[in-house]
Amino acid sequence: MILITSGTVIESETDELIERAKQKIDDKNEETALELFKQVLEKDPGNYTALWNKSLLTTRKYYRVDDEDKQLEGYKEALKIAEKTLELHPDKGHSYYVYAIAKGRYSELEGTRDMIRASHVIKEKIEKAAELIPDYAPVWHLYGVWHSDIATAGRTERSVARLISRGLPDGAEEEKAEKYLKKSIEMMPESILFRVDLGKHYIEIGEKEKAIEILEEAASLEPKMMDDDDKKKEAKELLEELR
C-alpha cells in the first residue's frame, strides 16, 4: 500500500500548474500564465517560482497599459510581490531581478527625483542578481539598460541629481552598457528586445551605423515572445528615422 501525504499531493499539483504556466508563456499567453501562477500561490504561498514570475508578469502586464494611474498601481503591486519574494528567498537570484524590474518601472512613473534615488537600489539588486544567476540573459540586458540610462542621463536629470544627497550612481559607463547588452544577445540570440535596446543605446551615444546594423538584425528576426511584433515594428520605425 502506497501512502501519499497531502504535502506530496499539493507539490504535484503546483508542479503541474507551473509547467502549464511556463507553456503558456512560450505560447505568448502571459495573462493565462499569470493566473496559473496565482493558483500555485493559493496552494503554496511561498513558492519561489510562482512568486518571482507573478511579480515579473504583473510588471509586464501593466507596462502594456496606457493609463499611467493604472500602471502605477500595477507596478506597486508587482513591487510588493517582489519584496515578499526577496524576504522569503534572499538567496535566490530572480528575487533580486524582479525587484529591480518592478522598482525601476515604479520609480520611472513617480518622477525624476524618485527615479534617481531608486537607481542606487536598482544597481545593487541587479549586481546581486548577476552574481547569483549569471547564466540568465535578462539580467545582463537589464544591467546594460541601467548603464545606458545613467551614462546618457540628460541635463535635467543631472541637475536634479545635484539636489539629492547621493546624486546619480557612480560607475555607469557607455562601454559597459554596450558590453552587457551584447552579452545578453550572445546568451539569448533570438531576442528582438535586446537588439532594439542596444540600437537605442547606440542612437543615444551617436553611433548611427552601429544602430542601423543592430536594428536591421532586430527587424529581420522571427517573433517568438509576446511583445516581439511590437518590438519589430519599433526597430523598423527607428531605422526609418535614421536613414
DSSP string, 225-238: STTHHHHHHHHHHH
Tell me whether residue 227 is in a domain. yes
Say if 238 falls within a structural domain.
Answer: yes
Q: Is 0.85 topped by the overall pTM?
A: yes
Q: Is residue 26 part of a domain?
A: no
Count of C-beta atoms within a 10 Å radius of residue 163? 9
Segment 114-126, tens digit of pLDDT: 677 778 899 999 9
pLDDT digits (tens, 9 = 90+) for 98-155: 999 999 999 888 766 667 777 889 999 999 999 999 999 999 999 999 989 887 764 4
The dihedral formed by the CA atoms of 68, 69, 70 and 74, expressed in degrees to the nearest 10: 90
CATH number at residue 222: 1.20.58
Contacts of 117 (CB under 8 A, 6+ apart): 107, 164, 166
The residue behind cell 526597430 is: 235
Q: In degrees rounded to 5, what are phi and psi of residue 201?
A: -65, -45
Q: Tens of pLDDT along 151-170?
A: 776 444 443 344 344 554 55
Could you tell me if residue 168 is inside a domain? no
| Total domains, the chain | 1
Residue ranges making up the domain that contains 217: 190-243
* Measured distance CA(9)–CA(47) in Å, rounded: 15
Residue 231 lies in a domain: yes
Does a structural domain hold residue 147?
no
